[in-house]
Amino acid sequence: MTIKTDYVLDAKGLACPMPIVKTKKALKDLASGEVVEILATDAGSTADLKAWAGSTGNHYLGTVQEGEVWKHYIRKKGGEDREEMSYPKTVKNEELGKRLDDMITIIDVREHAEYAFNHIPGAISIPLGSLENRLEELQKEDEIYVVCRTGNRSDMAAQLLSKHGFANVTNVLPGMSDWQGKTESL
Amino acid sequence: MSVTTWTAADVAKKVINKDELFILDVRNQDAFADWKIEGENIEYLNVPYFELLDGVEPIIDKIPTDKDVLVVCAKEGSSEMIAEMLSDEGMDVYQLQGGMKTWSEHLEPVKISDLKGGGAIYQFVRLGKGCLSYMVISGKEAAVIDATRMTDVFKDFAEKMGVSIQHVFDTHLHADHISGGKNLADETGATYWLPPKDAVEVTFSYEPLEDGNQITIGETAIQIHALYSPGHTIGSTSFIVDDTYLFTGDILFIDSIGRPDLAGKAEDWVADLRESLYSRYRELSEELTVLPAHFMITSELNEDGSVAERLGTLFARNHGLNIKDEDEFRSLVTENLPPQPNAYDEIRKTNMGKIVPNEEAQREMEIGPNRCAVR
């Protein structure tokens, strides 16, 4: 599985505490919402990164083990604190959950690494930042549901789609942070 | 001020002497909750190293200045960093060489007793994991019982004592730690004994250890009698050495008894466990000294760091030997059991020779406390 990220940190061969010291440094240079991939060979790095992310408010996405190397994914906190969402047409998670077998399009606008570890079956991954360049992949007349982690990025995505003439777009609230239905990973 | 490094042996002495000690454990909270350096006069503070990357000021006030302060982490890297930071703040601190990884592997040899006809019994106390191994020495020969995977310790000790290891025994197929028995036997040319009922799936050759086997060590003929005592596993076998010492394996401990569920057979083995503890052991002399394969808490250690008690005393004091009602006994050993040991299924497979993990993986599998007993 290849997961797209904004930055790759090579912490291979480094023992504790260096993987976390370096991750902390790397996150400083990233923008809020960006994702770092950390390559580590220290077996203890998974539990520690998870706990560290939890205590600092950053978002631990998941870990993939490939042979002797652990690939950890962390998304920098922040960037989702807009005061209010303004796109009017919304549904709750549960309502979308009932419609998964229908002819609808679900767009997951979170970062690719977030999508990789956990997404709604059938959802397409188009991160918010690349949505404007990928509009031709979508049909204007389709019934489109936009989902992210907490509803903010999907709110912006829904507005963008609407501005480009997509008529039937709905924002899903609150999004994957509280999704109780089935999920898939890559 | 300064940072001084303590070895696991230094810390072991502190634990055995019941010295006062303050441990700043900088591993993550789950790791600390699962397993730590135990001792009767140890005070703890657990703050993960990654919460102190910007400085140790937030915890300075919580660290005492009137006792030794030991900084501990998983493998030493983080404790070194935090200890330096504390030193920069003007404190004198110690840090554990090799971290919990080394602590888990440290064996502290303690002499149990001389034997009647010459020779002696030594117990190897693995404080970090609660495992007990033994070496019985007589003349120029030695036998090792329930060896841990750190086989060099036994080889070095035998060399120091000027004896050669002739026999290596496992009282049963272990599920909580990786046995060094087969490797030690191969490395020393000794005979490796394992109870055949526990060895049905093993992939290597061994000598079947059966009820009534008698093995002689050395010129003074220290005899080892095998006594079939199933319950923790179906093959569990006790030994009587020199008519004085009862090696109980994981059947009977000082303050607890063996659990029958680690091979998934709790219900089947309850009756065996009861029979072993309440009938077979009852027929033995109460003057025997019990030498178990584990301890659970450091209060089970005697003054000198050994773990040993008269059988008669255990009949009087060990709760697990004093449950008259069979149903109550059944529920004690099959219900509300403590969590199963970390990776116990993989450990059993390793001990059968079915998988051969590398050393790093073996260490990881053994991380965590011993959980072979029920109280």
Cβ–Cβ contact B54 with A under 8 A = no
Superfamily of structural domain B3-102: Rhodanese-like domain (3.40.250.10)
Res. A49 pLDDT band, cuts 50 70 90: very high
Cβ–Cβ contact B35 with A under 8 A = no
Catalytic-role residue among B73, B110, B217, B314 = B73
For position B223, what pLDDT does the model report? 75
Superfamily of structural domain B107-374: Ribonuclease Z/Hydroxyacylglutathione hydrolase-like (3.60.15.10)
Identity of the residue in B29, B31, B77 whose CB atom sits nearest the CB atom of A17? B77
Cβ–Cβ contact B364 with A under 8 A = yes
Q: For the segment B66-76, what is each residue's pLDDT rounded down to a tens digit?
A: 999 999 999 99
Cβ <8 Å between A17 and B364: no
For position B363, what pLDDT does the model report? 87
Shortest distance, CA B82 to any CA of chain A (angstroms):
10
Q: For the segment A5-39, what is each residue's pLDDT rounded down to a tens digit?
A: 999 999 999 988 999 999 999 999 999 989 999 99
Cβ–Cβ contact B221 with A under 8 A = no
Rounded CA separation B123/B352 (Å): 25
Cβ <8 Å between A16 and B51: no
Q: For the segment B363-373, what is each residue's pLDDT rounded down to a tens digit?
A: 888 877 767 67
Identity of the residue in A16, A18, A51 whose CB atom sits nearest the CB atom of B29? A51
Q: At a CB cut-off of 8 Å and minimum separation 6, what does B118 contact?
A: B138, B139, B218, B220
Query: What CATH code would you report for A90-178?
Result: 3.40.250.10
Q: For the segment B144-173, what is each residue's pLDDT rounded down to a tens digit?
A: 999 999 999 999 999 999 999 999 999 999
Rounded CA separation B113/B122 (Å): 7
pLDDT of residue B344 exceeding 90, the answer is: no
- A158 in helix, strand or coil? helix
Res. A4 pLDDT band, cuts 50 70 90: confident
Q: For the segment B197-208, what is each residue's pLDDT rounded down to a tens digit?
A: 999 999 999 999
* Average confidence (pLDDT) over A167-181: 94
Res. A82 pLDDT band, cuts 50 70 90: low
E strand or H helix at A37: strand A35-40
pLDDT of residue B220 exceeding 70, the answer is: no
So which residues of A are the catalytic ones? 16
Please give the interface size between A and B, counted as residue pairs whose CB atoms are below 8 Å apart. Answer: 42
Structure tokens at A81: 């604190």
Residues in chain B within 8 Å Cβ distance of A17? 49-50, 53, 77-78, 81
* Residues 304 through 343 of chain B touching chain A, CB cutoff 8 Å: none
Instruction: Name the least confident of A67-81, B179-193, B290-304.
Output: A67-81
Res. B84 pLDDT band, cuts 50 70 90: very high
- A46 in helix, strand or coil? helix
Domain residue limits, chain A: 7-75, 90-178
Taking CA atoms, what residue in B is nearest to A47?
Answer: B28
Cβ–Cβ contact B78 with A under 8 A = yes
Q: Quick one: what percent of chain B has pLDDT higher than 90? A: 72
Structure tokens at B294: 């584990």
Task: Show which residues on chain A lie within 8 Å of chain B, measured between beta carbons.
Answer: 15-18, 20-21, 24, 43-44, 47-48, 51-52, 55
**Average pLDDT for chain B:** 92
Cβ <8 Å between A44 and B74: yes
Q: For the segment A83-106, what is each residue's pLDDT rounded down to a tens digit?
A: 577 899 999 999 999 999 999 999
Shortest distance, CA A51 to any CA of chain B (angstroms):
7
Q: Is B372 a catalytic residue?
A: no
Cβ–Cβ contact B30 with A under 8 A = yes
Best residue of B28, B29, B362 to probe chain A, by most A CBs closer than 10 Å: B28
Is 0.85 exceeded by the ipTM?
A: no
**A7-75 to CATH, choices 3.90.580.10, 3.30.70.1400, 3.30.110.40, 3.40.50.720:** 3.30.110.40
Res. B308 pLDDT band, cuts 50 70 90: very high
Is the link from the previous residue into A88 a cis peptide, with omega within 30 of 0? Answer: no
Q: For the segment B87-136, what is each residue's pLDDT rounded down to a tens digit?
A: 999 999 999 999 999 999 999 999 999 988 789 999 999 998 899 999 99
Cβ <8 Å between A51 and B73: no
Cβ <8 Å between A51 and B53: no
Cβ–Cβ contact B33 with A under 8 A = no
* Average confidence (pLDDT) over A145-155: 93
Same fold, B3-102 and B107-374: no
Shortest distance, CA B136 to any CA of chain A (angstroms):
38
Domain residue limits, chain B: 3-102, 107-374
pLDDT of residue B222 exceeding 80, the answer is: no
Q: Which pairing describes strands B69-72 and B108-114: parallel, antiparallel, or unpaired?
A: unpaired
Cβ <8 Å between B50 and A20: yes
Cβ–Cβ contact B84 with A under 8 A = no
Residues in chain A within 8 Å Cβ distance of B50? 17, 20, 24, 48, 51-52, 55
For position B221, what pLDDT does the model report? 64
- B202, B352 Cβ separation under 8 angstroms: yes
Residues in chain B within 8 Å Cβ distance of A51? 28-30, 48, 50
Cite the DSSP H helix spans in A13-168: 18-28, 45-56, 93-97, 112-117, 128-131, 152-163
